[in-house]
C-alpha cells in the first residue's frame, strides 16, 4: 500500500502553517504531529551545521526540521551539500513530491537523502525526470518497480542519465550483460560506476591473473558482482590465498568466480583448513556454497 503523501506541511514555514490553521478552523489539513516544538539544538547529530544556532535564519531552521523529520542528519546534509543553505523550502518540497509521485515512500527518504543529499537541490526537470525515463525506456523497469530499483541503489537518482547511465549500460551490454532485470534490481551499482576508472581496471586485473578475455567475460556473466569488488581489498588477498595457500588451478576459479564473494576470514580459510584436515577432495563451489551441515556431511562421506 502506498505511503501517505508527504505533504508540504513538513517543508513550509511553521508561522505560515499556524496562521493558516487559526484563520481556517474548517481546514481539513490537521497540524502535522512531526512539527511539534523541538529544541533545534537537539536536531544535530554528528555533523553540526557550520553556523552557530543563534545565527541561523528561520527558514534554515525550518529546513533543518524538515530534514530531521525525514530521518536525515541535517548537519551532514548541509555539510555535504552547501547549496541547501540557499535552497528554498518550496524547491525541496518539489523534489519530495516528485519522488512520491514515482512511488517512493516517505520511509525511503532517510536512506535516499542520507546517501545522496545533493538530491535535495536537484532540478526535477533536468536531473530527475531523465533518470526515470532511463529506468523506464532503457532498463524496462515498470512504473510500479521504480521504488525497488531506487532503494537498491539511490545513487541512480544522483547520476546523469546522458553522461553516466546510458553510456555505462551500453558498455555493459557490449560486454555481454544483457539481463536488464538483473541490472535493475540486483546490480544497479554497476550503472553508476565509472567505466574508465572502475570497470575497465577490474577487467584488466583479472586479465593480469592469467585469465583470457573470453574467460573474463564468462566469469562476469556468471557473477556480475565481480565488477563491484575492490581490487586491493578483495581480489588481491583472496587470489593470493587461492594460489599461494590452496594451490588450486585457475580453471576452477574460472568456473566458480563466486569465490570472490565469500569472506576470506570467515568462510574461505576455515572451510579450506577443515577440508585439508579431513583429507577429502571437495570442489571449490561445494566447499564454499554448502551450509555448515552440508559441509560437515561432505567431509564425512567424501565428495
The answer to whether the CB of 38 falls within 8 A of the CB of 64 is no
Residue 241 in grid coordinates:
590465498
Question: What pLDDT, on the 0 to 100 scale, is given for residue 68?
Answer: 85
Alpha-helix residue ranges (DSSP H) falling in the chain: 14-23, 58-69, 74-80, 89-101, 109-115, 129-133, 146-152, 166-175, 180-185, 200-208, 213-222, 236-244, 250-255, 269-278, 284-289, 292-301
Q: Does the pLDDT value for residue 115 go beyond 70?
A: yes
Distance (Å, rounded) from C-alpha 120 to C-alpha 89? 10
Question: What pLDDT, on the 0 to 100 scale, is given for residue 301?
Answer: 79
Instruction: Tell me the backbone φ, ψ of residue 296, rounded to 5 degrees.
Output: -60, -40
Q: Does the pLDDT value for residue 168 go beyond 90?
A: yes
Distance (Å, rounded) from C-alpha 121 to C-alpha 92? 6
Question: What pLDDT, on the 0 to 100 scale, is given for residue 231?
Answer: 97
Digit-coded pLDDT (tens) for 191-208: 999 999 999 999 999 999
pLDDT over 70 for what percent of the chain? 81
> Among 5-9, 50-54, 210-214, 249-253, whose mean pLDDT is lowest?
5-9
Q: Say which residue, 133 or 77, is predicted with more confidence.
A: 133
Secondary structure class of 30 (helix, strand, coil): coil
Where does the pLDDT of residue 302 fall: very low under 50, low under 70, confident under 90, or very high at 90 and above? low
Digit-coded pLDDT (tens) for 255-280: 999 999 999 999 999 999 999 998 88
Q: What is the mean pLDDT of residues 11-27?
A: 40
N-terminal to C-terminal alpha carbon distance within the chain: 48
Amino acid at each position: 500500500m502506498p505511503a501517505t503523501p508527504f505533504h508540504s506541511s513538513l517543508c513550509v514555514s511553521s508561522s505560515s502553517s499556524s496562521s493558516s490553521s487559526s484563520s481556517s478552523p474548517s481546514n481539513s489539513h490537521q497540524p502535522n504531529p512531526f512539527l511539534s516544538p523541538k529544541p533545534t539544538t537537539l536536531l544535530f547529530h554528528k555533523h553540526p551545521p557550520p553556523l552557530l544556532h543563534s545565527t541561523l535564519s528561520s527558514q534554515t531552521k525550518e529546513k533543518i526540521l524538515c530534514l530531521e523529520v525525514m530521518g536525515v542528519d541535517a548537519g551532514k546534509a548541509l555539510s555535504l551539500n552547501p547549496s541547501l543553505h540557499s535552497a528554498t523550502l518550496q524547491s525541496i518540497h518539489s523534489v519530495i513530491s516528485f519522488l512520491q509521485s514515482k512511488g517512493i515512500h516517505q520511509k525511503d527518504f532517510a536512506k535516499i537523502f542520507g546517501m545522496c543529499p545533493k538530491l535535495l537541490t536537484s532540478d526535477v526537470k533536468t536531473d530527475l525526470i531523465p533518470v526515470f525515463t532511463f529506468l523506464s525506456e532503457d532498463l524496462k523497469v515498470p512504473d510500479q518497480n521504480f521504488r525497488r530499483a531506487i532503494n537498491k541503489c539511490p545513487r541512480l537518482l544522483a547520476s546523469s542519465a546522458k553522461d553516466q547511465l546510458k553510456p555505462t549500460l551500453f558498455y555493459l551490454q557490449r560486454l555481454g550483460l544483457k539481463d536488464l532485470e538483473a541490472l535493475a534490481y540486483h546490480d544497479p551499482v554497476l550503472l553508476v560506476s565509472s567505466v574508465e576508472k572502475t570497470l575497465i581496471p577490474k577487467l584488466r586485473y583479472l586479465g593480469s591473473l592469467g585469465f583470457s578475455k573470453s574467460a573474463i567475460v564468462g566469469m562476469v556473466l556468471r557473477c556480475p558482482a565481480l565488477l563491484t569488488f575492490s581490487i586491493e581489498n578483495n581480489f588481491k588477498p583472496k587470489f593470493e590465498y587461492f594460489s599461494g595457500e590452496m594451490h588450486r588451478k585457475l580453471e576452477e576459479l574460472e568456473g566458480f568466480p563466486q569465490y570472490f564473494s565469500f569472506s576470506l576470514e570467515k568462510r574461505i580459510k576455515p572451510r579450506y583448513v577443515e577440508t585439508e584436515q579431513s583429507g577429502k577432495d571437495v570442489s571449490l563451489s561445494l566447499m564454499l556454497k554448502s551450509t555448515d551441515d552440508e559441509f560437515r556431511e561432505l567431509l564425512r562421506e567424501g565428495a
